């Protein structure tokens, strides 16, 4: 075997090894990009445009620069929504100097006008902001936050309830999802955790 032959036979082996490595890397990249579980936050949140009680529009751009909470519900809710907003308020009162806001977005824009929402959140911490919007605006923000909400069957008096998911979203200063805030623990523990983000 001449030296020339052996040097010619080596490169194809290396070329193949490099090609396999390159294919593996590309494959890994595609897998990472196609696996939402690796970055679930990328799927929650996004642009929104909603109405406050004083006739102003609040958008995701207005929330930039500070972490914030988002919660979806409705003012006719008999239990879960008022309980959750009360829990949020207890936590916020432990953070008196922190400029963190908690957005309470209605899933029932038919009854919860911006004025109704503003009146309702008056019972809670002043940093809880009541938000409503057109059915299209509400549908868009529900979709962005992966919220489930459905109108229940009407009762004899015409009243109805809304079946809805109940998650308190912690969003970072860029509007990216951080976590679903666990309020089923002592408020001082929740406040301490939030402080770490503020
Ligand atoms: Ni509710």
Q: Confirm whether 56 is domain-assigned.
A: yes
**The model's pTM:** 0.79
29 and 74 in a single domain? The answer is: no
What confidence tier does 114 reach under pLDDT thresholds 50, 70, 90? very high
Which H/E stretch holds residue 49? strand 49-51
96 and 177 in a single domain? The answer is: yes
If you measure from the C-alpha of residue 85 to the centroid of ligand 1, how many angstroms do you get, rounded to a whole number?
10
Residue 192 has pLDDT above 80, yes or no: yes
30 and 72 in a single domain? The answer is: no
61 and 154 in a single domain? The answer is: yes
If you measure from the C-alpha of residue 38 to the centroid of ligand 1, how many angstroms do you get, rounded to a whole number?
30
Q: Confirm whether 40 is domain-assigned.
A: no
Number of domains the chain contains:
2
If you measure from the C-alpha of residue 77 to the centroid of ligand 1, how many angstroms do you get, rounded to a whole number?
4
Domain extent at residue 7: 3-34
Predicted local confidence at residue 37, as pLDDT: 47
Positive or negative, the CA dihedral 18, 19, 24, 26 is positive
In angstroms, the CA 100 to CA 126 distance is 11
């Amino acid at each position: 075997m001449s030296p020339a032959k052996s040097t010619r036979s080596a490169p194809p082996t290396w070329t193949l090894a490099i090609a396999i490595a390159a294919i593996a890397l590309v494959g890994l990249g595609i897998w990472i990009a196609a696996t939402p579980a690796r970055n679930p936050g990328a799927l929650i949140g996004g642009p929104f445009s909603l109405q406050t009680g004083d006739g102003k529009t609040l958008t995701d751009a207005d929330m930039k620069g500070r972490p914030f909470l988002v919660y979806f519900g409705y003012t006719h809710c008999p239990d879960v929504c008022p309980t959750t907003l009360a829990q949020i308020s207890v936590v916020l009162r432990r953070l008196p100097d922190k400029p963190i806001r908690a957005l309470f977005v209605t899933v029932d824009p038919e009854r919860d006008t911006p004025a109704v929402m503003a009146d309702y959140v008056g019972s809670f911490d002043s940093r809880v902001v009541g938000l409503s919007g057109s059915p299209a605006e509400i549908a868009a923000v529900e979709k962005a936050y992966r919220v489930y909400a459905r109108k229940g069957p009407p009762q004899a008096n015409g009243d109805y309830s809304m079946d809805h998911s109940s998650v308190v979203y912690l969003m970072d200063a860029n509007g990216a999802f951080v976590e679903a805030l666990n309020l089923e623990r002592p408020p001082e523990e929740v406040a301490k955790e939030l402080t770490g983000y503020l």
